[in-house]
């Protein structure tokens, strides 16, 4: 018998050639990988052992206008575990729970529920010393991550303005959210070598440096913020009110110098935080401004040329029939001039002015001073209020609009409108950040008209019989307007015994520097009083008195010494006092 290979020798040769080619290909591949293309194997090896860990970047510092910190980032350690690894060290679970202050049974349940995973947060935001103590226990499967956590030195005083960040350091409320991209840093990258169990073997290099966030200087003056917070809180306690807001604005630059709300919260400890306490009521809550709108109705009348400050208005008998409705005053004020209409807060007087000049002019005036308009602050959740579009208003609509009903505004909008009166009729944009170069404003009211209205507002506070006498500030001429409005109820109409007490004013009248608005929600009547002049005006007076001193504003209403006293104060010739 002849062998099959001998009968077909070409088959053997073919197999040998194929084997030779395979050996040659393998040899060539070995040479290529080991000599010519070594980077491939290195990359594959690195992919299984090299890791890029993020380098945390801290958020930018938030300060007040004077550089006082309002939000800072502090380093913390976040502990995480690999449940698969930790399962092999069950005997140390109790030790681990005690080290991180957790219930052993709850921790064991979490680990068992996640035993198939390789990552689970153990505890976040520990101070470095605490985190390091846990890591030094050398418990298998327990690791740490360097992070940053926000801390707010001013606490509840600036909470509604500054806001807060979440556990991942992203802005969630207030300025932290509005300026999140500006404040957020860019994380870096660090190359490290780890073994197959994920344990760090070597810190190789930093491949990308972390970039911290940018600093943000707010327009807020922390000193004024503290004062406003204290006085508003005291007023709520005194009158048993539900809530309150205070806004103070620089008349010339439009900077918001103080903005406080009650109730408030501590952003450093939000365990028992109530959602209602988080609302920045000064920007979110809308209300009918009531009599605080009357100065703008009077400004419209003066600008029309039909009225002068000394024009006589007959408000008798304290009521005015408009169609089937009746406009009423608190008292029958009789015959008043235009200044007296503001001083006594006569609904009848301003209604007559509005009906005479026209609803279209009233709408234009209120719109131009910013009522019911977007302030442009870009604050999260800010409301624009509501100024009904003018079509053909019924006479009663024009009448009630003239004394602040039928429209809704926020405290910030009302403060902005009053800056127009204090800035000679020029409206400047509002700003929550410090303004180094004031923006150019737009004239919306005649300068002479603005000055005339300012003097009328002064009589409300500084003259006997004015409704805002409790807002007086010793040494300074102050002007303002009180407002007391019924609260609306769901479904329409007004609550019978629920009010908002409002005061809006400027100081000093001779050269206004600040505009301030105080809103007290649902004050409990004290001695039967719940009016803006009794509840909100004293808060204005106390805050503005301190603000004038802190801002070094020269007094403009000091008592004049008698002639003989002045003579007695002169030193004798050659002598001295």
Please tell me the predicted confidence (pLDDT) of residue 196.
57
Asked whether residue 25 falls in the same domain as residue 76, the answer is no
Of 104-108, 269-273, 503-507, the one with minimum mean pLDDT is 269-273
Task: Give per-residue pLDDT as tens, 208-218.
Answer: 777 888 999 99
Q: Which residue has the higher pLDDT, 248 or 437?
A: 248
pLDDT band with cut points at 50, 70 and 90 for residue 199: low
Asked whether residue 373 falls in the same domain as residue 478, the answer is yes
pLDDT at 190 over 90: no
Burial zone of 25 (CB within 10 Å; 0-12 exposed, 13-18 middle, 19+ buried): exposed
Residue 228 lies in a domain: no
Residue 278 lies in a domain: no
Please tell me the predicted confidence (pLDDT) of residue 60.
93
Percent of the chain scoring above 70 in pLDDT: 90
Alpha helices (runs of H) in 242-336, residue ranges in sequence order:
281-284, 294-304
Average pLDDT over residues 109-124: 86
pLDDT band with cut points at 50, 70 and 90 for residue 488: confident
Average pLDDT over residues 231-258: 96
The string of DSSP codes covering 334-388 is: -EEEHHHHHHHT-HHHHHHHHHHH-HHHHHHHHHHTTTTS--S---TT----B-P
Asked whether residue 541 falls in the same domain as residue 496, the answer is yes
pLDDT band with cut points at 50, 70 and 90 for residue 350: very high
Helix H or strand E encompassing 107: helix 104-113
Please tell me the predicted confidence (pLDDT) of residue 440.
86
Asked whether residue 32 falls in the same domain as residue 179, the answer is no
Of 57-71, 168-182, 487-501, the one with minimum mean pLDDT is 487-501
pLDDT at 2 over 60: no
Burial zone of 553 (CB within 10 Å; 0-12 exposed, 13-18 middle, 19+ buried): middle
Residue 223 lies in a domain: no
Please tell me the predicted confidence (pLDDT) of residue 118.
78
Helix H or strand E encompassing 246: strand 243-250
Asked whether residue 349 falls in the same domain as residue 301, the answer is yes
Query: Total structural domains in the chain?
Result: 3
Q: Which residue has the higher pLDDT, 335 or 558?
A: 335
Q: Any idea what the CATH number is for the domain that residue 95 is in?
A: 3.90.1310.10
Asked whether residue 96 falls in the same domain as residue 128, the answer is yes
pLDDT at 30 over 50: yes
Average pLDDT over residues 116-142: 87
Asked whether residue 243 falls in the same domain as residue 383, the answer is yes
Calpha distance 328→346 (Å, rounded): 8
For residue 156, give its domain range: 53-217
pLDDT band with cut points at 50, 70 and 90 for residue 8: low
Average pLDDT over residues 296-303: 96
Residue 85 lies in a domain: yes
Asked whether residue 302 falls in the same domain as residue 340, the answer is yes
The mean predicted confidence, pLDDT, of the chain is 88
Query: Are 456 and 339 in contact, with CB atoms under 8 Å apart?
Result: yes
Please tell me the predicted confidence (pLDDT) of residue 576.
33
Asked whether residue 71 falls in the same domain as residue 162, the answer is yes
Q: Any idea what the CATH number is for the domain that residue 391 is in?
A: 3.40.710.10
Residue 557 lies in a domain: no
Please tell me the predicted confidence (pLDDT) of residue 261.
97
Average pLDDT over residues 459-487: 93
Residue 360 lies in a domain: yes
pLDDT band with cut points at 50, 70 and 90 for residue 568: very low
pLDDT at 38 over 80: no
Average pLDDT over residues 122-151: 87
Question: Which of the following is catalytic: 73, 219, 291, 402?
Answer: 291
pLDDT at 335 over 70: yes
pLDDT at 51 over 80: no
Calpha distance 404→396 (Å, rounded): 13
Asked whether residue 195 falls in the same domain as residue 261, the answer is no
Catalytic site includes residue 291: yes
Asked whether residue 322 falls in the same domain as residue 173, the answer is no
Residue 231 lies in a domain: no
Percent of the chain scoring above 90 in pLDDT: 57
Asked whether residue 409 falls in the same domain as residue 471, the answer is yes
Of 227-236, 489-498, 542-551, the one with minimum mean pLDDT is 489-498
Residue 233 lies in a domain: no
Calpha distance 289→70 (Å, rounded): 32
Of 120-129, 406-415, 469-478, the one with minimum mean pLDDT is 120-129
Q: Going by C-beta distance under 8 Å and a sequence separation of 6 or more, which residues neighbour residue 506?
A: 251, 418, 421, 422, 454, 457, 478, 479, 480, 512, 514, 515, 516
Average pLDDT over residues 528-555: 94
pLDDT at 574 over 50: no
């Amino acid at each position: 018998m002849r062998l099959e290979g001998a009968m077909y020798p070409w088959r053997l040769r073919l197999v040998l050639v194929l084997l030779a080619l395979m050996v040659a290909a393998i040899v060539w591949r070995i040479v290529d990988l080991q000599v010519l293309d070594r980077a491939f194997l290195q990359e594959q090896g690195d992919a299984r052992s090299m890791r890029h860990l993020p380098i945390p970047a801290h958020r930018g510092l938030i300060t007040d206008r004077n550089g006082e910190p309002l939000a800072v980032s502090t380093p913390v350690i976040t502990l995480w575990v690999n449940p698969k690894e930790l399962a092999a060290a069950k005997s140390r679970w109790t030790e681990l729970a005690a080290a991180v202050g957790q219930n052993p049974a709850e921790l064991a349940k979490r680990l068992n529920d996640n035993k198939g995973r390789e990552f689970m947060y153990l505890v976040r935001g520990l101070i470095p010393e605490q985190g390091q103590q846990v890591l030094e226990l050398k418990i298998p499967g327990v690791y740490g991550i360097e992070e940053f956590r926000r801390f707010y030195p001013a606490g509840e005083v600036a909470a509604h303005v500054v806001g807060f960040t979440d556990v991942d350091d992203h802005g969630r409320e207030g300025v932290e959210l509005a300026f999140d991209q500006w404040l957020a840093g860019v994380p870096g990258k660090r190359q490290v070598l780890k073994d197959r169990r994920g344990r760090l073997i070597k810190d190789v290099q930093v491949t990308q440096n972390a970039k911290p966030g940018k600093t943000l200087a707010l327009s807020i003056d922390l000193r004024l913020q503290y004062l406003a917070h204290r006085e508003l809180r005291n007023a709520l306690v005194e009158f048993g009110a539900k809530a309150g807001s205070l806004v103070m604005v620089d008349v010339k630059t439009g900077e918001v110098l103080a903005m406080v709300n009650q109730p408030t919260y501590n952003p450093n400890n939000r365990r028992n935080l109530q959602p209602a306490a988080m609302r920045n009521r000064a920007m979110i809550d809308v209300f009918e401004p009531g009599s605080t709108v009357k100065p703008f109705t009077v400004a419209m009348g003066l600008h029309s040329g039909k009225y002068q400050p000394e024009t006589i208005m007959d408000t008798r008998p304290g009521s005015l029939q408009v169609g089937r409705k009746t406009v009423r005053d608190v008292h029958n004020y009789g015959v008043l001039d235009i200044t007296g209409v503001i001083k006594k807060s006569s609904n009848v007087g301003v209604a007559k002015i509005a009906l005479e000049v026209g609803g279209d002019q009233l709408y234009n005036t209120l719109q131009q001073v910013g009522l019911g308009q977007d302030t442009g602050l870009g604050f999260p959740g800010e409301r624009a209020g509501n100024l009904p579009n003018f079509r053909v208003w019924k006479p009663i609509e024009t009448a009630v609009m003239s004394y602040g009903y039928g429209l809704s505004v926020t405290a910030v909008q009302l403060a902005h409108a009053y800056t127009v009166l204090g800035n000679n009729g020029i409206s400047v944009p509002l700003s929550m950040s410090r303004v180094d170069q004031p923006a150019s404003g737009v004239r919306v009211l005649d300068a002479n008209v603005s000055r005339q209205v300012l003097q009328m507002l002064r009589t409300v506070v500084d003259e006997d019989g004015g409704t805002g006498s409790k807002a007086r500030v010793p040494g300074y001429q102050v002007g303002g307007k009180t407002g007391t409005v019924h609260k609306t109820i769901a479904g329409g109409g007004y609550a019978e015994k629920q009010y908002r007490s409002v005061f809006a004013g400027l100081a000093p009248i001779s050269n206004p520097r600040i505009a301030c608005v105080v809103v007290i929600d649902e004050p409990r009547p004290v001695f039967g009083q719940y009016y803006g002049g009794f509840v909100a005006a004293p808060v204005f007076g106390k805050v503005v008195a301190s603000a004038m001193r802190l801002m070094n504003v020269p007094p403009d209403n000091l008592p004049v010494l008698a002639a003989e006293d002045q003579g007695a104060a002169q030193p004798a010739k050659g002598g001295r006092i």
